[in-house]
Amino acid sequence: MTNFKIKIGLIGFGRMGRFYLEELQKSGRYEVAYICDLSEASRQLAHQLSPESQITDNENIIFDDPSVQAVALCALANSRKEQIEHALNRGKHVISEKPIADTVDREWQVVDIAENSSCMTTVNLYLRNSWYHNTIRDFIRSGEIGELAIIRVCHMTPGLAPGEGHEYEGPAFHDCGMHYVDITRWYAGCEYKTWHAQGINMWNYKDPWWIQCHGTFESGVVFDITQGFVYGQLAKDQIHNSYIDIIGTKGVCHMTHDFHTAKVSLHGVNETLELEKPFGGKNIDRLVTLFAESLESGKRSESLPQMRDSAIASEYAWSFLEDAHQHTLPAIGNLRTLEQIRERRRTMTNGYGLLHQR
Ligand SMILES: NC(=O)c1ccc[n+]([C@@H]2O[C@H](COP(=O)([O-])OP(=O)(O)OC[C@H]3O[C@@H](n4cnc5c(N)ncnc54)[C@H](O)[C@@H]3O)[C@@H](O)[C@H]2O)c1
């Protein structure tokens, strides 16, 4: 730990922006010089939570200030490419939310710009920074489960409903699902080869809000990913189901969490371990620490997710969604139920993936 503080500007002060502010403040390694948001309500909140920061609706003030060393970009995907471009052109390091742009073409343009810049860039593929996935990957690498063969990932919550926000981020399987597409590829350590996706147009909404995709990797490892924000949104008491199963030729790893605690079961040939630790949320504490360490040492941490990883995950998530559209896509339920869900979520204060109240 040094006394040197990284002067940073935060752009986009919604749900994620607030998480960033909290972690940047806690880390002690950053000076949050600016917070920018287009919404008046978000700016008022920023004044309250960070009175020492300059609050603005004009991002150019941040880009034009030569003393700002880095930006954290947490607005929506439609503004991300230009913001990354502006930041890098002005010599600022970038922590970006995912996806890194709103179309695949533009995401690859970002990768190009980032890889040709001398500034450091990273993206919040938060599962890569979780203790549970790193513990499991270390266990696999130690040979305890034999050869990696099957990766099964499931994440179903009564989360963000269609039409509530994040429209530029795409349907649930892209917006949230790209994390699972990414982490499955991270475990496999190679590229996807074949896939088949089945979706359902729940509530007769035009896009599937639940998808299961299975297939193979170049290595022969097989996968199945199930992701849906269609999990009992109108249940009196809400519940979710999130787990990962990693099956090898000899042993198996399992993880499940309740958003507070993550439980990892490692069943290897020599060792059986049952671990239980705090879930860690979006792991932004780890992201901003790795970023600060990388900037301070001038050597990029290998654990920092790359823009390229985000573009790849995003492109595959779109491909899997597209594949679901090629097969029978039943519609079950009606838009009236979806309206009831949105109505309920508008007034919820404690739920899954609620957008910030304006
Ligand atoms: N990595 C993760 O796990 C994760 C999780 C949730 C969301 N996200 C991503 O983070 C981003 C933000 O999500 P959120 O849930 O905080 O959304 P949000 O709607 O709560 O917040 C977005 C904020 O950005 C502001 N904004 C929009 N355009 C702007 C612009 N051009 N300049 C400045 N401010 C602008 C809005 O006024 C709003 O306050 C999304 O792109 C989403 O995909 C990532």
Residue 294 in any domain: the answer is no
Task: Mark whether 326 and 180 lie in a shared domain.
Answer: yes
Task: Mark whether 119 and 158 lie in a shared domain.
Answer: no
Task: Mark whether 184 and 45 lie in a shared domain.
Answer: no
Residue 115 in any domain: the answer is yes
* Arithmetic mean of pLDDT, 326-341: 97
pLDDT at 2 over 60: no
What pLDDT does 1 receive?
A: 46
Strand ranges across the sheet with 192-202: 272-278, 261-267, 252-257, 241-248, 148-156, 222-228, 210-217, 192-202, 331-332
Residue 296 in any domain: the answer is no
Q: What is the CATH number of the domain that holds 267?
A: 3.30.360.10
Residue 78 in any domain: the answer is yes
Token pair, residue 328, equals 């029978």
Residue 338 in any domain: the answer is yes
* Arithmetic mean of pLDDT, 93-120: 98
What pLDDT does 357 receive?
A: 62
| Beta carbon of 71 within 6 Å of any ligand 1 atom | no
Residue 1 in any domain: the answer is no
Task: Mark whether 190 and 174 lie in a shared domain.
Answer: yes
Which residue range(s) make up the domain with 116? Answer: 6-123
Give me ligand 1 centre to Cα 75, in Å: 4
Last residue of a domain, one of 98, 123, 148: 123
Task: Mark whether 81 and 138 lie in a shared domain.
Answer: no
Task: Mark whether 251 and 200 lie in a shared domain.
Answer: yes
| Beta carbon of 79 within 6 Å of any ligand 1 atom | yes
- Closest to 220 measured CA to CA, from 199, 190, 240, 241: 190
Q: pLDDT digit string (tens) for 52-72?
A: 999 999 999 999 999 999 999
Task: Mark whether 138 and 224 lie in a shared domain.
Answer: yes
Residue 288 in any domain: the answer is no
| Beta carbon of 11 within 6 Å of any ligand 1 atom | yes
For ligand 1, mutation pick of 16, 82, 106, 181 (most atoms within 8 Å of CB): 16
Task: Mark whether 114 and 133 lie in a shared domain.
Answer: no
| Beta carbon of 234 within 6 Å of any ligand 1 atom | no
Q: Is the pTM of this model over 0.95?
A: yes
Q: How far apart are CA 143 and CA 97, in angstroms?
A: 34
Q: pLDDT digit string (tens) for 253-308?
A: 999 999 999 999 999 999 999 999 999 999 999 999 999 999 999 999 999 999 99
Q: What is the CATH number of the domain that holds 51?
A: 3.40.50.720
Q: How confident is the model at residue 3 (pLDDT cuts 50, 70, 90)?
A: low
Q: How confident is the model at residue 358 (pLDDT cuts 50, 70, 90)?
A: low
Q: How confident is the model at residue 154 (pLDDT cuts 50, 70, 90)?
A: very high
Task: Mark whether 106 and 181 lie in a shared domain.
Answer: no
Last residue of a domain, one of 89, 123, 157: 123
Q: What is the mean pLDDT of the chain?
A: 96
Domain count, the chain: 2
Last residue of a domain, one of 123, 156, 189: 123
CA angle 109, 110, 116 (to 5 degrees): 95
Q: pLDDT digit string (tens) for 26-53?
A: 999 999 999 999 999 999 999 999 999 9
Task: Mark whether 54 and 80 lie in a shared domain.
Answer: yes
- Closest to 254 measured CA to CA, from 267, 239, 240: 267
| Beta carbon of 221 within 6 Å of any ligand 1 atom | no
Task: Mark whether 27 and 133 lie in a shared domain.
Answer: no
pLDDT at 97 over 90: yes
Q: pLDDT digit string (tens) for 232-258?
A: 999 999 999 999 999 999 999 999 999
Residue 113 in any domain: the answer is yes
Task: Mark whether 141 and 263 lie in a shared domain.
Answer: yes
What are residue 196's phi and psi, to 5 degrees?
-145, 125
